[in-house]
């Protein structure tokens, strides 16, 4: 029986050990250099694909592997041990780019895109946010106009994770009238004429490339349409549920990484002749961090179980995302405080995580949007 039963089994434990070894061998020795360089090697996708990490939760005929929500939590926890949200976001960007294709796309499009990405031979990105739109998805302005056997795209997207290196981009476009009823999804290959990209410099997530995309008369085959025309909004919303649960999982995992680093430092650091952890104020900080982590982790696991049963409690997912990102902001702040000067120097995991906290409370739907959506779902 798993040490974390009842949600986890020995199968989850075996996956944890496999991913942990992979992280220790391929990522941990290099992550600081990758972060400073602003990128990690494309070869890492192939290595992760060979391990099966990229295929978890995708259909076996497309090269995927069966899994439940707890397998994904395990992978997130192990990747988070190196303390780099950019690594997790960049390596796993297919996790938000491919689900709409799998759920709505025809067989030809699925086989064109998904197997290559799951093998790590190609990179996939999701492009929804726009320079003047942000969370207002229903009013996006990028258009795709049918012209014979093609769609012609005009507009731009921004804050796109893996936007510079993506070979396949799942793009939200307007093919119909105003509002959610006129939105479609279409796959744009990275080498299409009319697509240009500009990298964005960020507060955190340095080793994850983030880009603004420009579509200037960009022609894409009509066969790249994901599902039916003007029916993409539902696919976007369904995708957001999974993304928000994943963001909560990331936030909790990085909170634990902060606690682990702060605890190790407090045990080793000597102040005025005694270990730092001998100070009551430090022990209380550590307990406060642990308390918040355990509360939000219990909520995450309960919701993961409900998803496993076929439920999607949208209000709870929104509130969990907020609770988890607030937990992360607290734990990162306290960890840096406990580490003192060492926590302000690059190379400390908590320093990097501290810079990365806000992206999780903004991405996938800002905290304020989550509150409003939860209120509507709860009938407030």
Residues tagged active-site:
243
**Quick count: other Cβ atoms within 10 Å of Cβ 309?**
6
CA dist 113 → 40, 45, 225 (Å): 22, 15, 12
Q: What DSSP state is assigned to residue 83? A: -
Cα 29–chain centre separation = 22
Q: What DSSP state is assigned to residue 207? A: T
Q: List 14's β-bridge partners, or say none.
A: none
**Quick count: other Cβ atoms within 10 Å of Cβ 260?**
15
Q: Is 302 exposed, middle or buried (0-12, 13-18, 19+ CB in 10 A)?
A: middle
Q: List 188's β-bridge partners, or say none.
A: 169
Can you give the C-alpha Rg of the chain in angstroms? Answer: 21
Q: Closest by alpha carbon to 301, among 100, 5, 59?
A: 5
Q: List 300's β-bridge partners, or say none.
A: none
Question: Do 253 and 287 touch, CB atoms closer than 8 A?
Answer: no
Q: What is the rounded distance in angstroms from the CA atom of residue 182 to the CA atom of residue 204?
A: 34
Q: List 366's β-bridge partners, or say none.
A: none
* CB within 8 Å of 347: residues ≥ 6 apart: 32
- Give the relative orientation of helices 69-79 and 10-22 as an angle to the nearest 10 degrees: 30
């Amino acid at each position: 029986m798993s040490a974390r039963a009842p949600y986890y089994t020995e199968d989850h434990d075996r996956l944890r050990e496999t991913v942990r070894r992979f992280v220790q061998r391929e990522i941990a020795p290099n992550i600081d250099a990758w972060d400073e360089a602003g990128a990690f090697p494309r070869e890492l996708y192939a290595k992760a694909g060979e391990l099966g990490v990229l295929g978890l939760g995708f259909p076996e005929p497309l090269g995927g592997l069966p899994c439940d929500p707890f397998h994904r939590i395990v992978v997130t926890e192990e990747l988070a041990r190196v303390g780099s949200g950019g690594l997790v976001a960049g390596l796993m960007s297919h996790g938000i780019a491919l689900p709409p294709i799998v759920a709505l796309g025809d067989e030809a499009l699925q086989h064109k895109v998904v197997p290559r990405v799951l093998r790590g031979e190609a990179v996939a990105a999701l492009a929804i946010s726009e320079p003047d739109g942000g969370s207002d998805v229903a009013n996006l302005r990028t258009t795709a106009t049918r012209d014979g056997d093609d769609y012609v795209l005009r507009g731009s997207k921004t804050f796109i994770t893996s936007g510079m290196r993506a070979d396949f981009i799942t793009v939200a476009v307007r093919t119909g009238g105003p509002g959610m009823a006129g939105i479609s999804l279409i796959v744009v290959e990275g080498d299409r004429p009319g697509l240009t990209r500009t990298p964005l410099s960020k507060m955190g997530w340095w080793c994850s490339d983030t880009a603004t995309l420009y579509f200037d008369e960009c022609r894409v085959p009509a066969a790249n349409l994901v599902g039916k025309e003007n029916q993409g909004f539902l696919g976007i919303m369904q995708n957001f549920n999974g993304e928000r649960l994943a963001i909560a999982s990331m936030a909790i995992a990085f909170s634990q990484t902060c606690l682990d680093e702060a605890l190790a430092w407090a045990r080793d650091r000597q102040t005025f002749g005694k270990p730092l952890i001998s100070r009551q104020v430090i022990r209380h900080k550590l307990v406060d961090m642990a308390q918040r982590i355990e509360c939000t982790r219990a909520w995450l696991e309960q919701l993961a179980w409900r998803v496993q049963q076929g439920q999607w409690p949208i209000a709870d997912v929104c509130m969990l995302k907020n609770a988890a990102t607030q937990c992360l902001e607290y734990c990162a702040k306290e960890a840096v405080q406990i580490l003192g000067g060492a926590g302000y120097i690059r190379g400390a995991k908590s320093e990097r995580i501290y810079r990365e906290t806000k992206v999780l409370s903004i991405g996938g739907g800002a905290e304020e949007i989550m509150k409003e959506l939860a209120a509507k779902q709860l009938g407030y």
